[in-house]
Amino acid sequence: MTPAQYETYRAALHLDESTGMQFLYYLRSLLDGTLGYSFKKDAVVSSLIWERLGYTLQITLPAVALSTLAGLAWGLRCGYRSGVPVDMASTVALIILNAVPTFLIGLLLMIFFCFQHRWFPYTGLSSPEATAGSAWLADRMRHLVLPVLTLTLASLPSRYLLMRNTAKKIAEEKYVLYARQRGLPDRTIRFSCLLKNIAPQFVTMTGMSVGSCIGGSLVVENLFSIKGMGKLLTEAVNTLDYPLMQGILFVTALIMALSIVVTDVICVLIDPKVRWGEYIEK
């Protein structure tokens, strides 16, 4: 770097001003939506993130939906009939899976499905020969299978264990025992009695899982060479691109905060006990 370049960057980053003024400049970049300027990539940070955010969401959103729905359905079933062989085997298997790192799950899937059987591609989100239309969509779905499956398997144990333990506790309540004595079908009891009381925890868990899945996608994107926010963050760390790092972490935290706020609002709308809890206590 020449002395002239050094002075240019020093003035552009406001390093010749006080720390308080630098922070004010940073706040201004948040308010105007630019999130700063990446001098390493010579581009506005928000444009770089917006370009990669779609790829991350293509992995994260399906994984959140699949892991949450599977954890809910299987957790309800095993929690309602706790102690049976299916419940014990499922719980032990998912406790073991919960201890396996995300990158190891991805590597095992890659070895089996990509290198041994060559059923799915192992890198990127599209093939060079893929064109627009149905062929492009089918190619994109094939590329997404393993990343989404990796993130789903990494997220599933926590969802299942929470639902299973909550369902087991509620299944011991008197009104559930009374419903059994009346001869109601197990399916009706699970979805009419258990699910109604688990709904607030289920919605909260879904909101919290968005943040954890985004964090897990950082590993998955690097493993499968997907150019999402995780890959962008890795590049920013390797090149010491601090404005870009700050922008990515800010957007990630913002998504997590918004998902939690939305789930809290949904809990208030669907649960009368939460909506009227203050008046009931009085």
pLDDT in tens, 85-121: 888 888 888 888 888 888 888 888 888 888 888 887 7
Does residue 136 lie within any of the structural domains? yes
Does residue 144 lie within any of the structural domains? yes
Over range 233-243, report the average pLDDT. Answer: 85
∠ CA 19-21-24, rounded to 5°:
115
pLDDT for the residue numbered 271: 65
pLDDT for the residue numbered 255: 83
* Closest alpha carbon to 90 in 80, 105, 75: 75
Instruction: Flag the least confident range among 150-154, 167-171, 268-272.
Output: 268-272
* Closest alpha carbon to 228 in 239, 241, 214, 238: 214
Does residue 101 lie within any of the structural domains? yes
Of all residues in the chain, the percent with pLDDT exceeding 70 is 89
Question: What's the pTM?
Answer: 0.76
Of all residues in the chain, the percent with pLDDT exceeding 90 is 0
CATH label of the domain that carries residue 86 = 1.10.3720.10
Q: Decide: 217 and 151 in contact? Cβ < 8 Å.
A: yes
Convert 14-42 to b/e letters by CB count within 10 Å (16 or more is b).
eeeeeeeeeeeeeeebeeeeebbbbbebe
pLDDT digits over 49-86, tens only? 888 888 888 888 888 888 888 888 888 788 777 778 88
pLDDT for the residue numbered 279: 46
Task: Pick the most confident of 56-70, 124-138, 191-205.
Answer: 56-70
What is the CB neighbour count within 10 angstroms for residue 276?
11
For 189, the domain range is 20-281
C-alpha distance from residue 264 to each of 34, 100, 122 (Å)? 29, 31, 38
* Closest alpha carbon to 148 in 81, 90, 67: 67
Mean pLDDT, all residues of the chain:
79
**Residue where the block lists tokens 């009939």:** 81
The C-alpha torsion from 257 through 260 and 264 to 267, rounded to 10°, is: 160
Does residue 13 lie within any of the structural domains? no
β-pair partners for 38: 43
Does residue 14 lie within any of the structural domains? no
3-class SS of residue 38:
strand
Distance of alpha carbon 121 from alpha carbon 126, whole angstroms: 9
3-class SS of residue 37:
strand
Who has greater pLDDT, 98 or 202? 98
Does residue 214 lie within any of the structural domains? yes
Distance of alpha carbon 102 from alpha carbon 230, whole angstroms: 14
Does residue 15 lie within any of the structural domains? no
At residue 235, does pLDDT exceed 70?
yes
Q: pLDDT category, 222, cuts 50, 70, 90?
A: confident
pLDDT digits over 176-196, tens only? 777 777 776 767 777 666 777
> Residues near 10 by Cβ (< 8 Å), separated by ≥ 6?
16
pLDDT for the residue numbered 260: 81
How many angstroms separate the most distant Cα atoms in the chain?
Answer: 85
pLDDT for the residue numbered 23: 86
Does residue 6 lie within any of the structural domains? no
pLDDT for the residue numbered 81: 76
What is the CB neighbour count within 10 angstroms for residue 278?
8
pLDDT digits over 16-32, tens only? 888 888 888 888 888 88
Q: How many domains does the structure of the chain reveal?
A: 1
What's the distance, CA 242 to chain centroid? Answer: 24
Distance of alpha carbon 228 from alpha carbon 221, whole angstroms: 6
Q: pLDDT category, 277, cuts 50, 70, 90?
A: low
Q: Decide: 50 and 34 in contact? Cβ < 8 Å.
A: no
At residue 281, does pLDDT exceed 60?
no
Over range 230-241, report the average pLDDT. Answer: 85
Please give the radius of gyration of the chain, using alpha carbons only, rounded to the nearest integer.
24
